[in-house]
Each structure stands twice: as structure tokens, then as C-alpha cells.
Amino acid sequence: MLLMNRARTAAIQLRKINFSFLDSLLLKSLLILFFVATHAGSAQADFTGKVVSVTDGDTIKVLDSSNTQHKVRLTGIDAPERGQPFGTLSRDHLASMVAGKEVRVESDKNDRYGRILGKVWVQPSDCASCGKTLDANHAQILAGMAWWYRYYAKEQSPEDRGRYESAEDEAKARTRGLWRDSNPVNPYDWRKGKR
């Protein structure tokens, strides 16, 4: 009788372990599905809209066709911060290209602050028939109004890496914008120094 009770207890314990394992496996599977579903929904897709605000030299606000406002951080560049030399000039230069204009934003992700990370395309002001063919991110670097953001270079296509690096080299060689400063401090280092 004692042996039989132990056998029953062992069988019950085994069932509990099996159910616990299966319950745990099911719970983990559901959590994975939930994570994938919620993050797949937060991944960005290309969209168009009107620029309603230029925050600084690498951040804009875009109103889409459904009247949803999106904060967009231009990828591949790092512009001077407010209060940093060339910060206002950088913002003004970006505004001259995109403020009040229809833009196309190419994006596939958000940053940790919830901003859409994207490449912003706009119609060049000197070409009424061109469509949205000007890469505003690249134009900011070429004008010497932003650094090429080397830290995130691996997230760019090889073509964009090459174009953005060349644009920075050209802006330096021609001492455009912030490269007129004898010792420009990139925003990453400037932000670290402010803390």
C-alpha cells in the first residue's frame, strides 16, 4: 500500500512537472508572439506628409494625410545642438529646405525616444519638375550643417555611407558651415561635456 501511494504521488508530481513545463512553454510562446506583434506594429514604413515644425538641424515634425503628427530624427547625421555653435544655423538651413513642404520619409525603425528614424526626401527649391529627389539628410552634411553620424554607419546602406562620408569630406575641404570653426566639437562630445 505504501509503495502504491508513493507511485501515485510520483505520478501526480510528474504530471505537475509536465503541465508546468507545457504551461511555461505556452506562456513563453505567447509572450514571444505578443512581442513580435507589438514591435512589428511599431516598425515604421515610408510615408509622406507636410513638415509642420523644425526642432533642430536633425529633427522635424511631419503631419501625415491622416493628420497624425510624427517626430522624425534624420538618420545618418548629427547636427549641432541648441546652444552649441552653429546650432541655430543648422536648424535654419534644414528649415529652408523642408519647412512647410511635402516630404517623403523612408523609415524602418524608431529610436529609444519614440522618434521615427528616417531619411527625408524633399523637392529641391530650384527644380519645380524634380519631385522629391533631394536627400535632406545628405544636404545638411554637404552644407556643413551636420556631421556624418559615424557611430550609426553600420545602419546605413553602403551607398549612403559612402555618400555621407564624402559629403562631410567635401564640406571640410571647402570649410562650409561648422567647418569654418577652428575646432568644431561634434554634438556627441558636446552632449557628454554638458552632463
Active site residues: 73, 81, 115
Q: Are 74 and 120 in contact (CB under 8 A)?
A: yes
Q: Is 114 left (phi over 0), alpha (psi -120 to 50) or beta?
A: left
Q: Are 87 and 80 in contact (CB under 8 A)?
A: yes
**Strand partners of residue 106:** 119
d(CA 178, CA 164): 16
Radius of gyration in angstroms for the set of CA atoms belonging to the chain, rounded to a whole number: 26
